[in-house]
Structure 1
Amino acid sequence: MSTILVVDDDQTVREVVTTYLTRAGLDVVEADDGPAALAAAADHEPALVVLDLTLPGLDGLEVFRRLRAARGDLPVVMLTARGDESDRVLGLEIGADDYVTKPFSSRELVLRIQSILRRAAADHATPEAGPLVDGDLRVDRRRHEAWLGDEPLPLTSREFDLLAHFLSHPGQAFSRQELMRQVWGWEYGDESTVTVHVRRLREKVEADPGHPVRLQTVWGVGYRWDGAS
Structure 2
Amino acid sequence: MSQPAAAPRLTRADGTPLRILVVDDEASLTDLLSMALRYEGWDVKSANGGQDALTTAREFKPDAMVLDVMMPDLDGLQVLSRLRQNNDDTPVLFLTAKDSVEDRVTGLTAGGDDYVTKPFSLEEVVARLRGLIRRSQISISEAGDSRIVVGDLVLDEESYEVHRAGRPIELTATEFELLRFLMRNPRRVLSKAQILDRVWSYDFGGKSSVVEIYISYLRKKIDAGETPMIHTVRGVGYVIKPTS
TM category, shorter = 0.5 to 0.7
Contact map agreement 2:23 2:46 (CA 8 A) in 1:
yes
Q: 1:44 to 1:100 in 2, by over 3 A?
A: same
Contact map agreement 2:80 2:111 (CA 8 A) in 1:
no
What is the 5 A alignment of 1:25-104?
25-104=41-120
Q: Say whether 1:115 aligns with 2:131.
A: yes
Higher relative contact order, chain-length normalized (CA < 8 Å, sep 6+):
2
Contact map agreement 1:6 1:31 (CA 8 A) in 2:
yes
One of 143, 149, 159 as aligned partner of 2:229: 143
Provide the C-alpha distance between the structure 2 equivalents of 1:75 and 1:40, rounded to a whole number of angstroms.
15
Give aligned pairs, total. Answer: 138
Q: How far does residue 23 in structure 1 lie from its aligned partner after superposition? A: 0.2
Point out the structure with max Rg over C-alpha: 2
Contact map agreement 1:53 1:59 (CA 8 A) in 2:
yes
Partner of 1:128: 165
Provide the C-alpha distance between the structure 2 equivalents of 1:13 and 1:3, rounded to a whole number of angstroms.
18
In the alignment, structure 2 segments of 5+ residues that lack a partner are 1-16, 140-148, 155-163, 168-224, 231-241
Q: 1:140 to 1:77 in 2, by over 3 A?
A: farther
Contact map agreement 1:129 1:142 (CA 8 A) in 2:
no
Contact map agreement 1:77 1:99 (CA 8 A) in 2:
yes
What is the 5 A alignment of 1:147-166?
160=244
Which amino acid in 2 is paired with 1:49?
Answer: M
- Cα deviations by residue, 1:8-32 (Å, 9 ceiling, x for unpaired): 0011110111111000111111001
Which amino acid in 2 is paired with 1:50?
Answer: V
RMSD, aligned CA:
2.3
Percent identity among equivalent residues? Answer: 39
Partner of 2:144: none
What is the 5 A alignment of 1:130-209?
143=229, 160=244
Contact map agreement 1:34 1:55 (CA 8 A) in 2:
yes
Partner of 1:22: 38
Contact map agreement 1:35 1:58 (CA 8 A) in 2:
yes
Q: How far does residue 143 in structure 1 lie from its aligned partner after superposition? A: 3.3
Provide the C-alpha distance between the structure 1 equivalents of 2:32 and 2:26, rounded to a whole number of angstroms.
10
Q: How far does residue 84 in structure 1 lie from its aligned partner after superposition? A: 1.3
Q: 1:61 to 1:25 in 2, by over 3 A?
A: same
Provide the C-alpha distance between the structure 1 equivalents of 2:19 and 2:125, rounded to a whole number of angstroms.
15
Contact map agreement 2:83 2:89 (CA 8 A) in 1:
no
Contact map agreement 2:91 2:132 (CA 8 A) in 1:
yes
Q: 1:94 to 1:140 in 2, by over 3 A?
A: farther
* TM-score computed with the length of structure 2 as normaliser: 0.52
Which amino acid in 1 is paired with 2:48?
Answer: D
Provide the C-alpha distance between the structure 2 equivalents of 1:30 and 1:19, rounded to a whole number of angstroms.
11
Provide the C-alpha distance between the structure 1 equivalents of 2:36 and 2:74, rounded to a whole number of angstroms.
26
- Cα deviations by residue, 1:12-63 (Å, 9 ceiling, x for unpaired): 1101111110001111110011100000000000000110010111111110
Partner of 1:226: none
Q: How far does residue 73 in structure 1 lie from its aligned partner after superposition? A: 2.4
Q: 1:142 to 1:20 in 2, by over 3 A?
A: farther
